[in-house]
Amino acid sequence: MNTKVTIAGVELKNPVMTASGTFGSGAEYGEMVDLNRLGAVVTKGVANVPWEGNPTPRIAEVYGGMLNAIGLQNPGIDVFVQRDIPFLRQYDTKIIVNVCGKTTEDYVAVVERLGDEDVDMLEINISCPNVKEGGIAFGQDPKAVEAITKEVKRYAKQPVIMKLSPNVTDIGVMAKAAEAGGADALSLINTLTGMKIDIHKRRFALANKTGGFSGPAVKPVAVRMVYQVANAVKLPIIGMGGIATAEDAIEFILAGATAVSVGTANFFNPYATMEIVQGIEAYMEKYGVKDIKELIGAVR
């Protein structure tokens, strides 16, 4: 049975990776999860300098999901390079660094800095709904998507994954813009912008008022968007949005994803990634699937 998949020339032992921001750089979950079992670890977003993030409360539970407005708190690229890359390199897994920024120059600074580092791919976060500048400002305008992709690609030495926002009218248009800009792969979906109000205190549940909606409740939207993007572009897709079980992961692969990311599920099941790796193998066994590539986009 072959579970290997290839994205932009990078071979993953299986299609299961972590979703940025839900897994840190792997150190905390490493106590409970064998990181060697994962196709890749996608790190928490890292900027050129440390970011403080948003005030608390930063999260709220909602029916079947959660809202978060962490605001991309991160230690900046210097600490990341010294501490997190050597940590992850101890394991037999691929490293995908999620890059965030407020300006094009910020993104480029991080991408350039990572040029000589031992990381496998870069995921460019142009879709975070929780920071006022940058992030999503780049991800909701096709011209901006194409421009930032081009600029990042000029400096990147590793393959570039553009992470798309679902908070747009037509995600296919954004996918085509990233493809035109030279992206090597796409990942989707980032979180959906949401809001929760505490009716007893008559206050927003989050200090940031709005936050990114994630968890099992968003899965049908995410599957639809992966299918839509798979039909719009030729690039490999990393699908995510509410994946909690192997069945969820297979749904995304059948819709057109080459790999999948597990995010919010880590919070309620720290073992979710490993269970999904095993569950995909069990599914392949059950249906006599010899190569996982047979499943990618198999439902048309």
Partner 1 sequence: MAQVKMNGMVKSQEKLASGVYSMWIEAPQIAEQAVAGQFISVYTKDPSRLLPRPISLCEIDREAGAIRIVYRVVGAGTSEFSCYKEGDSIEVMGPLGNGFPLKEKRAFLIGGGIGIPPMLELAKELNCEKTAVLGYRDELFLEKELGSYSKVYVATEDGSAGTKGNVLDAIREGNLEADIIYACGPTPMLRAVKEYAAEKGIECYLSLEEKMACGIGACLACVCQSKEVDHHSHVHNKRICKDGPVFAAEEVEL
Positions marked catalytic:
128
> Which listed residue (31, 116, 202, 300) binds partner 1 by CB under 8 A?
31
Residue of 194, 261, 183, 185 lying closest to 222 (CA atoms) = 261
Q: Is residue 163 within 8 Å of 123, Cβ to Cβ?
A: yes
Secondary structure tally for the chain: helices H, strands E: 10, 16
Q: Is residue 20 involved in binding partner 1 (CB under 8 A)? A: no
- The Cα angle at residue 46 between residues 262 and 100, in degrees rounded to 5: 90
Q: Which helix (H) or strand (E) holds 86?
A: helix 85-89
Whichever of 155 and 271 has its CB closer to partner 1, that residue is 271
Residue of 244, 250, 208 lying closest to 15 (CA atoms) = 250
Instruction: Supply the minimum distance, in Å, between the C-beta of residue 206 and partner 1.
Output: 9
Query: What b/e string do you get for 23-41 counting C-beta neighbours within 10 Å, with b at 16 or more?
Result: bbbbeebbeebebebbbbb
Whichever of 18 and 158 has its CB closer to partner 1, that residue is 18
Q: Is residue 24 involved in binding partner 1 (CB under 8 A)? A: yes
> Which listed residue (50, 172, 182, 297) binds partner 1 by CB under 8 A?
50
> Which listed residue (4, 6, 79, 291) binds partner 1 by CB under 8 A?
79
Q: Is residue 182 involved in binding partner 1 (CB under 8 A)? A: no
Q: Is residue 60 involved in binding partner 1 (CB under 8 A)? A: yes
> Which listed residue (93, 127, 165, 266) binds partner 1 by CB under 8 A?
266
Q: Is residue 98 involved in binding partner 1 (CB under 8 A)? A: no
The identity of residue 51, as a single letter, is W
Q: Which stretch binds partner 1 (CB under 8 A): 48-56, 183-191, 226-234, 274-282?
A: 48-56
Q: Is residue 125 involved in binding partner 1 (CB under 8 A)? A: no
CA distances from 120 to 27, 96, 197, 258 (A): 18, 6, 41, 16
Q: Is residue 32 involved in binding partner 1 (CB under 8 A)? A: yes
Q: Is residue 172 involved in binding partner 1 (CB under 8 A)? A: no
Q: Is residue 189 within 8 Å of 151, Cβ to Cβ?
A: no
Two structure tokens written together for 188: 């989707």
Q: Is residue 104 involved in binding partner 1 (CB under 8 A)? A: no
> Which listed residue (56, 89, 92, 132) binds partner 1 by CB under 8 A?
56
In the complex, the residues that contact partner 1 under the rule CB under 8 A are 21-24, 28-29, 31-32, 44, 50-53, 56-61, 63-66, 68, 70, 73-76, 79, 215-216, 264, 266-271
